[in-house]
Amino acid sequence: MHTVTGDVDVVVVGGGIGGLANAYALSLAGLRVRVLERAAAFGEVGAGLQLAPNATRILREWGLLDEVVGRGCMPRRLVFRDAVDGTELTHVPLRDDVEARYGAPYAVIHRSDLLDALYAACRRIGVDLVTDSAVTDVRTDGRSATAITARQQHTAAVVLAADGLHSTLRARLSPDEPVCSGYVAYRGTVPTADLDADRAAALDDVTVWFAPGCHLVQYPLRGGALLNQVAVFASPAWAHGASTWGTPGELDAAFADTCAPVRGALGDLWRDRWWPMYDRAPISRWVDGRLALTGDAAHPMLQYLAQGACQALEDAYVLAEQVAKGGDGGEPDWDRVLRAYQELREPRTTRIQRTVHVWGDMWHCDGLTRTLRNALFRDRDPLDHKHIGWLWGG
């Protein structure tokens, strides 16, 4: 087995959004970085994602925001609707008001477009991007860490585990496993040219439709050329312990009592694949010697606050900021850097991981709880940010 030693400062395991964001941020801080991606190419599956101001502020500081916005969209409003009767409950203005409050915009983008932008940025800055390199283990001592693949060993001062929800390297710090929520997501995009007038009229917004046990999210992508849709529902088959669950039949049954615009959207979803929704419980320890967790390997979360990618970008920003605080151009004090990174990031991501469960319950409630939720949402001032300022402020 060939050993590559000392030619980089950091090895990043995983070439998704979090891995490439860390690679780029650390390169901006003056470090030499290698990314090891297990697949044959760098790529993302899925459809759209939302980037709140806490993420776009970072992209702007990295010099990447214009490219990201150029590939995505800047929606006018975040709109919440009752999916049963179709009425609007409340909305949040997203353009001038958000930029003025938080110093950065709210954007939506295709996952692959964000990854492509980060990949291109990493290439420009000189990150060593390696494919077909599944990491099986990491050895760490007081001064370095070594990522082991089938063909090579890559030694650096630090190894970052950016290997996602199903991270194998997280087992070095915690014995926990991914936790199934019992919900499943169906995704799909449709060319906006194929939409009828009523559906095309909503293309300027991010719209979330609430219903008992399910919800639908819609927003534009690629400059408005595509409508992105995600339908999520609780699977009765999963609750009953069935081995097969989340089927298209369950999808249709879950949304059977929703209004016509919601039911009509289901026909544009991909029916041949679906995504069970998992997260993990928060952990307080992210660092083992010179191995550190980042992104979903550290804090996988459910989707209700649309913060998964945003928090991965925050991780990368904070870690690079701590590296830069060394300031003298020499070897970073990695023990201090990694300790500060964990201390700064863990409380915030833990709060978000726990809050998303509360939001999920609120989105999917029924009966009297639904009636009270709708009344509270309708009474809300659209410019009131007391429940989101802590999140979008970063």
DSSP 131: -
Parallel, antiparallel or unpaired: strands 158-161 and 10-13: parallel
Token readout for 211 is 């219903």
Give the separation between CA 136 and CA 172, rounded to whole angstroms: 12
- The enclosing H or E element of 6 equals none
Residue 292 dihedral angles phi and psi, to the nearest 5°:
-135, 140
Instruction: Please report where in the chains the tokens 């050993």 appear, as a residue.
Output: 3
Q: Which residues are paired to 35 by β-bridges? A: 12, 129
Measured over the CA atoms of residue 217, residue 221, residue 224 and residue 227, the dihedral's sign is negative
CB-count burial class (<10 Å; 0-12, 13-18, 19+) for 182: middle
Give the separation between CA 323 and CA 332, rounded to whole angstroms: 6
Token readout for 327 is 């300031």
Q: Which residues are paired to 129 by β-bridges? A: 35
Indicate if 106 belongs to the active site: no
- Among 219, 304, 317, 341, the one annotated catalytic: 219
Where in the sequence numbering do the catalytic residues fall? 219
